[in-house]
Every structure is written in structure tokens, then in C-alpha cells.
């Protein structure tokens, strides 16, 4: 039975990944330090779900805990933990992003090197691209992060690559393009739209609504992680995981309202520093190396997420 360590296990993607690994028979150890980026109640619900699936969950801060003991006997590390979001990564917030996204990754890679871990799968972000001269972006395009958050995610990618080049650590970086679905973080757009359409609060739109995002459903992201754990991929490789659902924000607002059968209340504010104008990624490399491509369309994915919001409110 393969033994997997999932960091950020009580988070959005991490909890789904834990359940999928357990469903296929892997032994799974999860680790999470329950940071205060968003409310603990949602993370505790995620934690309860993965414990019920048979995951051993460790409450530990990867900045300070003995990571070698966590990785001892582990076959695959799925590194999902990190400080997310663009808007808080400026000014005094930057140090937290460096610690959680860069220092933690280096500590895990160092342990993976010494313990000869079979595969290290790192959750990177499309934020490493920033604003590009052409779309869809390819892994060979020059990264140009547009936020401190993007800088820290790219720095961690470089750490994966240099540990691969110098010490043959079998690290693969997966560049996620705007993940959504049940359990999505409350600061993310589709979560806020679903809450708004259910009448809980107006949706705050930053800028003119012309920003373009490519959305990827969480089960597709999970499938990409599992494929990356076993595929014949050169250490240090970066791979886009993009869902093929590119849409302007203003059209996304209309789509959520149409699906819900109710208009979304919108409050418009100025654009926020660090928000890129567009993201959208080629999946040619994901198809070739991982045999991966998205299976969940945007409409079906929003239907699933909205159902989760309704079920949660009915409890």
C-alpha cells in the first residue's frame, strides 16, 4: 500500500486529494496547521471528513516541526500547503508568504532528498505567469509574476527544480489555474458568488469585470496530482493544470445567477494591485506527460458547488 503525505490536508484541494487517495487504497497522513487565513470552522469540517475517510491528520506547523519525521517512510509527498491569495501578500503580509510558501517548501525538499522520497508533487499556481503577451500560456513562457504571492510560488518552483538538478529529488510542479468546487476557500470568486446569489452578502467586484480567468474543477486537479505521482516525468518539470473554462468575470456573474435562478447582487470597487488581467493555460504538456485533461465543464462545476453551498446552509 503506497504511503502518501498531504500537506495542507484540511484545506480545499488537500481535503479532496486525501479522500481520493484513501478511496484508491493509499495510506494517507495529512498535516495542517490551521492558519488564520480563513475561518477554522470550514477547515474543521474538512478535517472531520478526511478523518472519517481514514486519514491520520497531524496538527503541525511545517515552519518549525521536524519534517523528516513526517516524511520518514513516505512514498509520495503532495505539497498542497501554502499561504494563498494575492491581495494580502503585499507590505507587512509578505513575510508570512515567504515563510509559508518558500521556507516550508525548502524544508520539505531537504527532507525528501535525505529520505529518498519517490515523488514530490508541488502545488504551484498560474500566478507565476502574471500578464503575458500571448495566451494560452505554455510552461516554456517566461514567468512574470504580478504579485508578491506569485513571486513566492515561483521561488518554490525554482527550489523544486534546483533540488531536482543537484540532488535528483523527483519533484514535479503543477501550475493550478483557479480551482473551484465544493469546499472552495471563502475568499475566492465562485464561493463569494454562490454566497451572494443565496442572499448572504453582495458580491464585491474589483475592477470593471473584464478580467479573464480559466477555472479548473477540484476533482480534475486531484486527478492531475495523482497522475503526476506516478507518470514518467523528468525531475524539475512544471505542468499546467487548466480547466478549459476561460470566462470574463462579468459573464461568470451572469452564469452563476442564471444557474441559481436569481440575480447576483454586486458591489463594484476599484481594481486591486496584483490582480492579473487574464490567465489561461495550454494543457499540451499535461496531456503528453500525465495523460491528463479536464473532464468537468464550468456549468456543471458551478451546479455542483452551488449545491454544496445550499446543503451547508441547510445544516
Residues classed as catalytic: 149
Helices (H), 170-297: 189-197, 218-230, 249-260, 284-285
Q: What torsion do the CA atoms of 307, 191, 83, 123 make, to the nearest 10 degrees?
A: 60
Strand 245-248 to 212-217 pairing: antiparallel
Place of cell 440575480: 263
Nearest to 78 by CA among 18, 21, 122: 122
Coil, helix or strand at residue 174 = strand
Nearest to 144 by CA among 135, 158, 133, 156: 133
Write down the number of H helices and E strands in the chain. Answer: 11, 12
Contacts of 68 (CB under 8 A, 6+ apart): 111, 114, 115
C-alpha distance across the termini of the chain, in Å:
36
Q: How far is CA 258 from CA 195, 254, 304, in A?
A: 14, 6, 14
Helices (H), the chain: 12-23, 40-52, 67-71, 94-97, 104-115, 148-167, 189-197, 218-230, 249-260, 284-285, 298-314
Q: What sign does the CA torsion over 210, 214, 219, 225 have?
A: negative
Amino acid at each position: 500500500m503506497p504511503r502518501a503525505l498531504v500537506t495542507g490536508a484540511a484545506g480545499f484541494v488537500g481535503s479532496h486529494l486525501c479522500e481520493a487517495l484513501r478511496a484508491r487504497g493509499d495510506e494517507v497522513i495529512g498535516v495542517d496547521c490551521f492558519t488564520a487565513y480563513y475561518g477554522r470552522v470550514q477547515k474543521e469540517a474538512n478535517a472531520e471528513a478526511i478523518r472519517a475517510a481514514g486519514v491520520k491528520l497531524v496538527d503541525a506547523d511545517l515552519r518549525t516541526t521536524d519534517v523528516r519525521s513526517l516524511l520518514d517512510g513516505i512514498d509520495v509527498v503532495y505539497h498542497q500547503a501554502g499561504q494563498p491569495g494575492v491581495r494580502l501578500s503585499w507590505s507587512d503580509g509578505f513575510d508570512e508568504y515567504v515563510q509559508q510558501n518558500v521556507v516550508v517548501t525548502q524544508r520539505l525538499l531537504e527532507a525528501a532528498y535525505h529520505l529518498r522520497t519517490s515523488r514530490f508533487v508541488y502545488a504551484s499556481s498560474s500566478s507565476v505567469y502574471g500578464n503575458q503577451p500571448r495566451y494560452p500560456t505554455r510552461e516554456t513562457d517566461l514567468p512574470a509574476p504580478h504579485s508578491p504571492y506569485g513571486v513566492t510560488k515561483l521561488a518554490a518552483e525554482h527550489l523544486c527544480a534546483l533540488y531536482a538538478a543537484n540532488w535528483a529529488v523527483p519533484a514535479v510542479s503543477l501550475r493550478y489555474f483557479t480551482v473551484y468546487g465544493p469546499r472552495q476557500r471563502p475568499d475566492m470568486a465562485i464561493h463569494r458568488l454562490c454566497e451572494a446569489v443565496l442572499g448572504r452578502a453582495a458580491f464585491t467586484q474589483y475592477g470593471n469585470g473584464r478580467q479573464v480567468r480559466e477555472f479548473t474543477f477540484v476533482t480534475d486537479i486531484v486527478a492531475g496530482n495523482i497522475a503526476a505521482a506516478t507518470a514518467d516525468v523528468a525531475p524539475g518539470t512544471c505542468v499546467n493544470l487548466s480547466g478549459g473554462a476561460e470566462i470574463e468575470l462579468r459573464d461568470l456573474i451572469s452564469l452563476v445567477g442564471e444557474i441559481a435562478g436569481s440575480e447576483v447582487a454586486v458591489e463594484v470597487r476599484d481594481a486591486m494591485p496584483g490582480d492579473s488581467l487574464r490567465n489561461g493555460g495550454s494543457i499540451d504538456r499535461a496531456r503528453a506527460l500525465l495523460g491528463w485533461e479536464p473532464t468537468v465543464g464550468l456549468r456543471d462545476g458551478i451546479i455542483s458547488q452551488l449545491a454544496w453551498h445550499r446543503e451547508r446552509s441547510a445544516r
